[in-house]
Amino acid sequence: MLLMVRALLACLALFCVGVAEAKPAGATPGIIRVRLVTSSGAFVVALDARKAPLTTRNFMAYVDDGRFDGTTFYRAARRKSAPKMGLIQGGIDTNTRRSLPPVKHEPTTQTGIKHTDATISMARGGKPGSAMGNFFITIGPIVSMDASGAYPGYAAFGHVVSGMDVVRKILALPTGGGTGPMRGQMILRPVQIIKAERLDGVAKPTGQPKPWLLGVPKRKP
């Protein structure tokens, strides 16, 4: 009887080890990590699907479809009083061939995710609910991006968890051009986003057409 119990415990232990090994290293329930590989280096963001499910789902649709691959970080907005702080902005820019429908706005008062240092958040037009495939990353806290009273703010949905040195390097690049709020903030030699790759969970492509790929020659195996 004792031998049977020991054998059962041994099998259970092996099963538990197998389950642990099947789980991706560093994975956290409700958190989806994405590696952004750029021409200036790579960094990883952790998106909070528990607190900001709509915004996270929208961003991951662009990742899983490959809509960010081949786009750029095109803006570096530095604070005049503290040039090492500010934000960098990237994504599809004005390329509507890569865009998906706008995502419903999730304000910081709803998600509880504030614009602290290393926050990833959605860029948008003048109205909330207009964000699509452009995003920004803060270097230093930017309280003015948080919702307050009637002001909707911007939809923060995660943080950079490794590679902030790359983000700071992009912020420091020479800028110029631009108009309006972006005057003088356009990166003169935009940083290529070579690939945005999911590190957790299973990819869920939208199945939507990819018109930006039309006419692009396929790579030989």
- Environment class of residue 187 by beta-carbon count within 10 Å: exposed (0-12), middle (13-18) or buried (19+)? buried
> CA-CA distance, 156 to 121, in Å (whole number)?
4
Tokens of 59: 């961003």
* pLDDT for position 17: 35
Contact 182, 191 (CB under 8 A): no
CATH of domain 26-200: 2.40.100.10
**Domain-wise residue ranges, the chain:** 26-200
User: 58 in helix, strand or coil?
Assistant: helix
Cα four-point dihedral sign 179, 182, 187, 192: negative
pLDDT of residue 125: 87
Q: What is the pLDDT of residues 100-120, one digit of tens each?
A: 999 999 999 999 999 999 999
**pTM of the predicted model, to two decimals?**
0.86
CB neighbour class for 46 (10 Å; exposed up to 12, middle 13-18, buried from 19): buried
Residue 71 or 27, more confident: 71
